[in-house]
Amino acid sequence: MNVQKAGHGQPMSLRERVHFLDIVRGFAMLGIIMVNYFLIVDSVKGFEAASDDVLHNLVSWFAEGKFVTLFSFLFGVGFMIFMDRAAQRVENPNKLFARRITILLGFGILHITLVWVGDILAFYAVTGFLLLAFYKRTPKTMLRWIIALIVIQFLTPVFTMLYNAINTAAPEMSNVSEFLLDSHNSSLTYLESIGSRWADMGTMVASSFSTVYSMFLMFLLGMYFVKMGFFKDMEAKKHIWKRIWIMSTIAFLITQSSMLLGMLTPSENMLWVENSSFLGQNGGLTGSMFYMSTLAMLFLHVPRLQGVLMIFTKVGRMSLTCYLLHSIIGTMLLLGYGFGLADHIQSAGTFMTGLAVYVVLMIFSTLWLKRFTYGPMEFIWRKLTYGKVNERPKMVPMISKWRS
């Protein structure tokens, strides 16, 4: 009998963390900041960005939909790590996870109400409850689910295209990524924006099925990677990561090339436009895996770069805190009830704003983690999850080094 099960589960210690996962989290946060800030500015301006805006197109091609998808993958990874540890320490790990995810839902609701409608925490929380049904499934069973979901995701646009071709009276689908957000209206006061955020959220939820579907798929993929032990002793699994990188690179090039060719193809060629569109819609999946596997290849095969890559770990370790801070800072800088910069800056300004905010978060995380083991929001989440914390955020001894 494991005597530890009589008590509360405990959060992961610093020594047990996988540094590579923190690198990926920190890198993904940079992409999320860029995409979200461009989204805010575009929404304020009514999505009037010129098609020849190179910087805007680069962010759209190489970041949009890819980093939030990568974050979803990491959520699945985190779920497995959490459940594996909880199973060793408590009698009912499902109950502990349900408590944890309910608290995350609360964070998401507060985030939507007080800060920004583009929240992902609430979506993660609601979708995350489904993962409990898959925790004890074998890797083989989980892989079958993943393959089935990927096939459906790839075929759905094809069936939609065929349906629209046959049924000419079918209503034309709107581009849900470009609906105007009333809460971004520059004339709103902060208090007025609260009601508008929830009105916008209603619209977003009504058109969120594909987002939730993709999110759940990536959750399962992240769980599968943990079940297969891909993040354990990565040095010994270089050959596996090389295969993952090759497959991800090929798939990513296909989806990205289709998007580029779709833009260059005359709009009269609707068949090619539709084909490129349906391939491009899966760019989030291929892009997220390409970025993660590329980081793995650099981490494993270029030792000199490991020190450079480790600069992402501080933000990665405080990803919840940094996620909330980036939206607080971004909305105050860009929206009308703050400094209202979105009405005036161009793509270069948006990009530099995102980069500057990331640097600030990196500095803040580094300074904070010199004194404490985990970030402020991470501490609150742990305290509410485990119900009992015997001490304040632990101060890190000066002789401690950031390695196991």
Identify the pLDDT of residue 261: 63
SS (H, E, C) the chain: CCHHHHCCCCCCCHHHCCHHHHHHHHHHHHHHHHHHHHHHHHHHCCCCCCCCCHHHHHHHHHCCCCHHHHHHHHHHHHHHHHHHHHHHHCCCHHHHHHHHHHHHHHHHHHHHHHCCCCCCHHHHHHHHHHHHHCCCCCHHHHHHHHHHHHHHHHHHHHHHHHHHHHCCCCCCCCCHHHCCCHHHCCCCCHHHHHHHHHHHHHHHHHCCHHHHHHHHHHHHHHHHHHHCCCCCCHHHHHHHHHHHHHHHHHHHHHHHHHHHHHHHCCCCCHHHHHHHHHHHCCHHHHHHHHHHHHHHHHHHHCHHHHHHHHHHHHHHHCHHHHHHHHHHHHHHHHCCCCCCHHHCCCHHHHHHHHHHHHHHHHHHHHHHHHHCCCCHHHHHHHHHHHCCCCCCCCCCCCCCCCCC
* Max mean pLDDT range (70-79, 176-185, 229-238): 70-79
| 383 vs 5, more confident | 383
Q: Is the pLDDT of residue 20 over 70?
A: yes
Identify the pLDDT of residue 179: 56
| 192 vs 14, more confident | 192
Q: Is the pLDDT of residue 181 over 70?
A: yes
- Range 153-157 average pLDDT: 76
pLDDT band of residue 343 (cuts 50, 70, 90) is very high
Identify the pLDDT of residue 176: 42
Note the pTM of the prediction, 2 decimals: 0.86
* Max mean pLDDT range (263-272, 371-380, 386-395): 371-380
| 296 vs 396, more confident | 296
Percent of the chain whose predicted confidence (pLDDT) is above 70:
79
> Which of 76-85, 95-104, 330-339, 388-397 shows the lowest mean pLDDT across its residues?
388-397
Identify the pLDDT of residue 13: 43
pLDDT band of residue 282 (cuts 50, 70, 90) is confident
pLDDT band of residue 47 (cuts 50, 70, 90) is confident
Identify the pLDDT of residue 222: 97
pLDDT band of residue 51 (cuts 50, 70, 90) is low
| 13 vs 56, more confident | 56
**For the chain, what are the domain ranges?**
3-232+302-386
pLDDT band of residue 12 (cuts 50, 70, 90) is very low
Give ∠ CA 98-103-122 in degrees, rounded to 5. Answer: 95
| 173 vs 84, more confident | 84
377-381 contacts: CB < 8 A, separation 24 or more? 377/107, 377/318, 377/320, 377/321, 377/324, 378/317, 378/318, 378/320, 378/321, 381/100, 381/103, 381/104, 381/107, 381/320
Q: Is the pLDDT of residue 270 over 60?
A: no
Q: Which residue type, as a one-letter code, is found at position 217?
A: L
- Range 40-60 average pLDDT: 84
- Range 28-55 average pLDDT: 88
- Range 214-218 average pLDDT: 95
- Range 253-267 average pLDDT: 69
> Which of 182-191, 288-297, 381-390 shows the lowest mean pLDDT across its residues?
381-390
- Range 49-53 average pLDDT: 70
- Range 275-290 average pLDDT: 78
Mean pLDDT of the chain: 85
| 81 vs 270, more confident | 81
Percent of the chain whose predicted confidence (pLDDT) is above 90:
64
pLDDT band of residue 275 (cuts 50, 70, 90) is low
- Range 322-337 average pLDDT: 97
